[in-house]
Structure formats: structure tokens, C-alpha cells
Amino acid sequence: MNKKYYNEAKPRSSSSRSKPASSRGGFRTRSSPRGKSRRDEDINVSKFINKAVANKVEEKFVPVHAFAQFAIDETLKKAIEVKGYTTPTPIQDETIPHALKGRDILGIANTGTGKTGAFLIPLIEKVIKNRKEQVLIIVPTRELAIQVDQELKEFTAGMKIYSVCVVGGMSISRQISELRYEYNFVIGTPGRLKDLIERKKIFLSEFSTVVLDEADRMLDMGFINDMRFVMEGMPRERQTLFFSATLSPTIQKLISEFLNNPISISVKTSSTAKNVDQDVVRLRNGESKIDVLHNLLKQKDFNKVLVFGSTKHGVEKLYSTLSERGIKVDSIHGNKNHSERQRALGKFKDNITQVLVATDVAARGIDISDVSHVINYDLPKTYDDYVHRIGRTGRAGKYGKALTFVD
């Protein structure tokens, strides 16, 4: 059995909750990277400790529908089969029938639950029925936009359904050129979409369907004004599909602004997946943080590890240190250009590198199979950030581990 280089901790007693953050293992958030002041939030260390449910027989989800039973084109059914989708996930099972009827949808679901398929399948069907249909999909990060675009292309191979992906950090000239050709889907991040709309390269009046995916994250990143700008330019008669992992007061206000009599669908069971084993790493007197991390990464079962740091500079420094120590590692953060980020993701996905060190830019939009561990080398700013970080492991019902370094 491999030696553990971390202390298995137990949640603190409830009596500790009345103590100030400094004495009970909590911490306060800082300002967000876009200059927006985040609400101060105390997070008890015990929230980073949650044992995975092992060997427990849970009630298996039985969908009401099969993909073959949905009222969609046979070509699309075949594409779903080729893609390897066997039975709908809960969010797909409940969302697709209502979306096919043109209803507005409010979907609340944990990360990794199949939301992308839940909105792409009915909207592809909408385009098949009307080739003039144009769909706008708004997401918080370029990585998620690229992922959605790739999944769309897999579903629509050979159907002559085209898309344009418009995100920051990539050539806007090329995106403008691609927008001159025929397309049915535009997938983008709020800032770049606003830029192209103001340049009169995208005309919102032409879109009768819009998806806002991970709306809570877009708020968290300071995109609320850009979101409102886009939505205010859309036709009043439209279909809106709105997905979020949380229902904060601001999100509820946006729902009332953006959606018309929506069907509410919630498949969120808990903040974090039950199959992700969560624990903390406490440094003993005299221990070096980098040494403890290195010793963890040398263990056999740490075979595909996502390590989160808080700053671009810190992530790059950690990458350099681990590389010098012989770890197969790469990094991803905001100072990397698009091709560098995609290359790092590709190497990690293909198991060429064992470790990917990242800022929170990677916490959303990365869907890589079989990540064995997520390590929070630096503390997340908020608990929501923590939830999305560790959501990169234990995906599709698989077992994962999450470790958080604490003082």
C-alpha cells in the first residue's frame, strides 16, 4: 500500500462554528480577477473533507425516455448512437422533451451531468426542421466554448450544419471571416460576442434561440453587463435555455429578466459528487509544501492529476519546479495563448503529461476523462470555485479524489 503524505482529518465539531475564521480553519475571499468585489465568505476547512460513498448500492437512475423515443430526426438518432450515448442522463431525460416543444428551460445541475447534450440535441433537431434557424450559445470560458463546438460538430457530422466559435484570445479577424459564411450556431464568450455585435458582424435579431450555460460562473467572472447587453438585443419572441449550478438571488433576478414562463428542472443532488473522496493536506512542522506535493505525485495512483494554483505567476513557477524535478507536467493559465492552452490540454488528455497545473480558468469547460486527482495547492477564493475545481474528477460516475492544502 502506498504511503499517504497527507493527514486524514475529521470535520470539526459544531462548537467551532462560532469562532472567527482565523481560529477555525476558515478563510475569506479576495477581489475577483476582473476587479469586481466578491462577497466575503467564510469557508470551514471541514467543507473540504467528505469521504466518497464506497461500495454503497445506490438506486440506479432509470430514465423515462430512451434516445430512440425522442421526437427527433433519424439522422440525429444515429449520430447519438455513433457518439456512444446509450441512455439519457437525468438532465437530458427531463430537458430534451420540453426543449423540443420550444419551452424556455431553467436547468439546475451539478457539473459533468450531461448538460451539453441536453441542449444540443433538441437545438440540432430545431435546425434540421428549419435550416434558417440560428442559435446563440453563451458560455463563460474559451475552453468550454471549444468543447461545446467540438461536441456539436460530432453530433452533426455530415448534416451540413455549421457553427462559428467566437472567443477571446484567438484571432478576431479569422472569426469575422468565418461569420461571412453560412452558419446555424454561434458559440462564444460574452466579451467577444459583445465586441462582434458592436462591430456589426453578428446581428442578434437573426437569432431566435439562445443558451446561457453556466450562468453563475459568467456572473462570477464579471460578465453580467455583457450578458444583459446580448440578451437585450435578442428578439422578444425567442426560446431561452438557462443553466446554472446555483440559484443565487442575482441568478433568480436574471431568470425573471431573461426567461418566459420556464420549465424548471433540477437534478442537483449535492454541492459535490458523492463519488469524489475529499480530504485536506496539513503540513507538519518543517515540511516543505512543494516536497509534500512532489511526494504525492510520485505515488502510483496519482496518474492523472490536475493541480490548481491561485495566480498565473504561481502556476508557472510551480510548473517549472515540478518539471525540474522530473515530473511530466504542463501548465494552463491566462497568459498562455490559445494554441499553447490547447496543446497543454491535448497532452494531458492523451496521457503524455501526468500533471496539469492550472488557474481557475481550467475549472470550467474542461471535460477530460479519468482525472484521478484534483489537488488544490492554493485555496480557492470561494466554495463555488472549490466545487467546480473538484468537479474535474469523478466524472461520469467514476471514483475520484480531491485534496486541499491548508495551513
Summarised one tens digit per residue, pLDDT across range 179-225 is: 999 999 999 999 999 999 999 999 999 999 999 999 988 887 789 99
Q: Are residues 249 and 278 both part of a single domain?
A: no
Q: Are residues 155 and 36 both part of a single domain?
A: no
Full residue range of the structural domain in which residue 77 is found: 67-266
Q: Are residues 318 and 397 both part of a single domain?
A: yes
For residue range 12-25, what is the model confidence (pLDDT) as tens digits? 333 333 333 333 33
- The pLDDT value given to residue 11: 38
Tally of structural domains, the chain? 2
Does a structural domain hold residue 5?
A: no
- According to the 3-state scheme, what is the secondary structure of the chain? CCCCCCCCCCCCCHHHHHCCHHHHCCCCCCCCCCCCCCCCCCCCHHHHCECCCCCCCCCCCCCCCCHHHCCCCHHHHHHHHHCCCCCCCHHHHHHHHHHHCCCCEEEECCCCCCHHHHHHHHHHHHHHHCCCCCEEEECCCHHHHHHHHHHHHHHCCCCCCCEEEECCCCCHHHHHHHCCCCCCEEEECHHHHHHHHHCCCCCHHHCCEEEECCHHHHHHCCCHHHHHHHHHHCCCCCEEEEEECCCCHHHHHHHHHHCCCCEEEECCCCCCCCCEEEEEEECCCCCCHHHHHHHHHCCCCCCCEEEECCCHHHHHHHHHHHHHCCCCEEEECCCCCHHHHHHHHHHHHCCCCCEEEECHHHCCCCCCCCCCEEEECCCCCCHHHHHHHHCCCCHHHCCEEEEEEEC
Q: Does pLDDT of 60 surpass 70?
A: no
Report for 313-322, 327-336, 337-346: range of highest mean pLDDT: 313-322
Q: Name which residue leads in pLDDT, 115 or 220.
A: 115
Q: Are residues 232 and 86 both part of a single domain?
A: yes
Does a structural domain hold residue 149?
A: yes
Does a structural domain hold residue 2?
A: no
Q: Are residues 199 and 325 both part of a single domain?
A: no
- The pLDDT value given to residue 40: 37
- The pLDDT value given to residue 234: 96
Q: What percent of the chain has pLDDT over 70?
A: 83
Select from 216, 235, 266 the last residue of a domain. 266
Q: Which segment of 128-132, 158-162, 229-233, 393-397 scores lowest on mean pLDDT?
A: 393-397
Select from 266, 300, 328 the last residue of a domain. 266
Average pLDDT for the chain: 84
- The pLDDT value given to residue 390: 86
For residue range 261-289, what is the model confidence (pLDDT) as tens digits? 999 998 865 556 677 899 999 988 888 99
Select from 210, 238, 266 the last residue of a domain. 266
CATH number for the domain harbouring residue 305 = 3.40.50.300
Average pLDDT over residues 287-310: 95
Q: Does pLDDT of 175 surpass 60?
A: yes
Sorting pLDDT into bands at 50, 70 and 90, what band is 42?
low
- The pLDDT value given to residue 73: 96
Q: Does pLDDT of 149 surpass 70?
A: yes
Does a structural domain hold residue 182?
A: yes
Sorting pLDDT into bands at 50, 70 and 90, what band is 362?
low
- The pLDDT value given to residue 109: 82
Sorting pLDDT into bands at 50, 70 and 90, what band is 396?
low
Report for 57-61, 368-372, 394-398: range of highest mean pLDDT: 368-372
- Kindly report the pTM of this predicted structure: 0.66
